[in-house]
Chain A
Amino acid sequence: AQTVTQSQPEMSVQEAETVTLSCTYDTSESDYYLFWYKQPPSRQMILVIRQEAYKQQNATENRFSVNFQKAAKSFSLKISDSQLGDAAMYFCAYDFGNEKLTFGTGTRLTIIP
């Protein structure tokens, strides 16, 4: 079965610093989509960034960027200039083209003022 692993249950970072959240996955597919979702205390899931596996260029959205290593099956999220509003649960997710997302167990990010 295809799986998604987030090995860091909790992370913390000083405000204005940079933090990297890890995600690895297991798949035999060659074409798929990768996502990072943010879940703040309000519990709504918010799409942060998306990566298409066939694209070699890493996706970037303002302060958020990914390091996608296809051969290593790794998909980490880097948050630069961390802000208090970045505090949330972050979920890595995959769509293997079978019409559904598979989520990791999440990383709780705390921002230290």
Chain B
Amino acid sequence: DGGITQSPKYLFRKEGQNVTLSCEQNLNHDAMYWYRQDPGQGLRLIYYSQIVNDFQKGDIAEGYSVSREKKESFPLTVTSAQKNPTAFYLCASSIATGGNQPQHFGDGTRLSIL
């Protein structure tokens, strides 16, 4: 079955440490997205990519970095510069960007600080 796989499901970060969240899709979608979800808030866009080797900052990109070397993969690195990384992170993909192409989501990764 086609879908989006995020790993790990749970992740713990020590102070000053960078961690990388994995997102893989086999839907042959061009566009991929990373969102952050905090309690009592909706999803906020961190980064998105319309095509391989290209990505743009979203609303809350500070302290995060991404790469898009392959169509299927869009890993998110939470750097030590992100002072409040504890949150639920969701990856999504769509055939292309634009509202006529709905986004499909993975199961998420919960990141916590040790």
**Residues of A with Cβ closer than 8 Å to B?**
4, 9, 32-33, 35, 42-47, 50, 52, 91, 93-97, 99-101, 103-106
Contact residues of B between 88 and 114, Cβ < 8 Å to A: 88, 90, 92, 97-100, 102-108
Interchain CB contact under 8 A, B48 and A45: no
Known A35-B102, A45-B105, A95-B99: A105·B40 in contact at CB below 8 Å: yes
Q: How many A-B residue pairs have CB under 8 A?
A: 59
Nearest B residue (CB) for A51: B99
**Cα of A97 to Cα of B58 in the assembled complex, Å:** 14
Closest Cβ of chain B to A33, distance in Å, is: 3
Interchain CB contact under 8 A, B107 and A42: yes
Q: How many residues of B contact A (CB 8 A)?
A: 26
Known A43-B88, A91-B43: A99·B97 in contact at CB below 8 Å: yes
